[in-house]
Every structure is written in C-alpha cells, then in structure tokens.
Structure 1
Amino acid sequence: MNERVRAAGQPPVGSYRNIPYFALRGIFHEHGYHDREVAEAVGISEGAFSMKMRGHSHWRGDQIAAICELMDIPQKDIGRLFFPQVNGGRKQ
C-alpha cells in the first residue's frame, strides 16, 4: 500500500491555520498586500518568499526589518510573527 507518511510535528494536509506564518500572512492581507507584492518589497523572488512562508527557509534580519517597516509591525510582535515555533522559550 502506498500511504503518505507524515513526520511527527507536521500539520495534517489541508490544515491552513497550522502553516508556520499564518498570523504573518494575515497581517499582509489586513494591509491589502499579496505575497508577490511583499516579496518584491523585500527584494526576493516569489519562490524564495514561498519557501520562507512555508517554513522551509529562514528569514534574514534585513528581510524581517523590511517587512516590519512595510507593515508597521512593532518590535514586540516580531517574535510571535517571525518565530512562531518558539513558545514561552520552548520549541513546540
């Protein structure tokens, strides 16, 4: 039988709210931006942006700073939005 095996800790297929940057994407939409526009503003390709939004690539500091400036994200929200895997000092 050919079944898909899901690694421990990964969200089930179709579980949109469990993507790593769900809250960050919500901020983009609140400000009226699409992923393509944010990628362009940050200076990366749509493919690279997609990899970051899916948690397959890390954000660089300058990219985080550019997004925070574009979206008026306060410093206190950076951890919650860009490092969602860390919760109270422990990895989830």
Structure 2
Amino acid sequence: MTEQPSNYRLQPPPKPNDSTAIADLVIEDIKQRKQLGIERYGVALQAHNGRDNLQDAYEEAQDLTLYIKAEMVQRQKQEWIPSNIL
C-alpha cells in the first residue's frame, strides 16, 4: 500500500442537500467560456485550429495544479514540502 502524504485526509461520503448540482454550474461556466472565446478570438474552440491542444491543455493543467496547491496551503496555513525537495 502506498503511504499518503501528511496532508492527506480521509473524507466522509457526500451528503445530499438542496444545492445546485456542480455539473450544472460547470455547464454554465463552459457556456460562458465559449462566449468569451468567440468574443476574444472570433470563434469557439475547434479541432484542427492550428494550435497544439495537448500542449495548451498541459500548460493549463500545470497552472491548475499551482492554484490548487496554493489554496490548500492557504487553508492549512502551512506548507507541506516533500523531504526530497529540501
């Protein structure tokens, strides 16, 4: 079994409630992003557009990882730094 980092925590199963489904919120966000793309670039994102989608996605994923870790650190008010980085 792989050992979890010290900041890993078990979570309970989700509890049903009256909140809007997250998928519905994401769908609305995607609709807004599509419109922003059309306003900014004159077209919604399409395949075969001359860009490397894998490269773009990889760079966005790196940014996402940084934002997630920053939020985790802010919530914990401490940094978890693996020993092999020090």
Into which bin does the TM-score normalised by the smaller protein fall?
Answer: under 0.3
- Larger strand percent: 1
TM-score (norm 2): 0.28
